[in-house]
A and B are shown apart, each in its own frame.
Chain A
């Protein structure tokens, strides 16, 4: 079992920092290229969501907590922003509240597809916590 926790301000340039650290952290587990690509994509989606949506005014913090246990990878992305009241609607494909900014509305769909489990907890003005679990291939 191993853990990595990162706390940073919700700035767009910090997403690459988190993604890069995540990849470096997982490398000792010998993930396949596909696994690396998919895990960094789901993490990026959740972090970008927090960056783009959680703090419309003053930028607050994002915390990313990664736990590996055998072949199980859990990533928890947490913000203290404005939260969401209608999670189900926002999880649907091609739904975006920022279509003028050319967002695709595919973030949650990508997270659901490339993870083995996704949990979204949120309430208005109480922040959002996204938990993503992904199992790596078994090592013989």
Chain B
């Protein structure tokens, strides 16, 4: 996971398979980093993510709650089509804003 900081915003660049094992590797760092810096906008970049299971979903929902709790905003960026289904299924998009950076327009 790469971290890119901007004024009042942070981007976590995720990649590969967001499965149980992978989430365990990045969860604490991400959680701690958000708690420490409390950025106004937190972006989870999904472009290079190839797989999401319910653990990955839980991670995204937990970050949403965490960021929401201090009044920040979580955004999902460049969600690939093949993992979109699983997010749709859980209703994530009704509470979390999406951004399409690679095509330059917000969904």
A residues sitting closer than 8 Å to B (CB atoms) are 12-13, 15-16, 19, 33-34, 37-38, 40-41, 44-45, 48, 51-52, 93, 96, 101-107, 109-110, 113
Contact = CB atoms under 8 A, between A and B. Distances in A.
A51 B24 CA distance: 14
B2 to A, nearest CB: 21
B58 A16 contact: no
Interface in B9-30: 17, 19-21, 24, 27
Nearest 3 pairs of A and B residues by beta carbon:
A104-B58, A102-B62, A104-B57
Interface secondary structure of A, over-half rule: helix
Contacts of B58: 96, 101-106
Q: Interface residues of B: mostly helix, strand, loop or mixed?
A: helix
B41 interface: no
A38 B89 CA distance: 12
A134 to B, nearest CB: 14
Contacts of A34: 82, 85
B55 interface: yes
A104 B51 contact: no
10 contacts: A16-B19, A33-B82, A34-B82, A48-B55, A101-B58, A103-B58, A104-B54, A105-B58, A109-B90, A110-B54
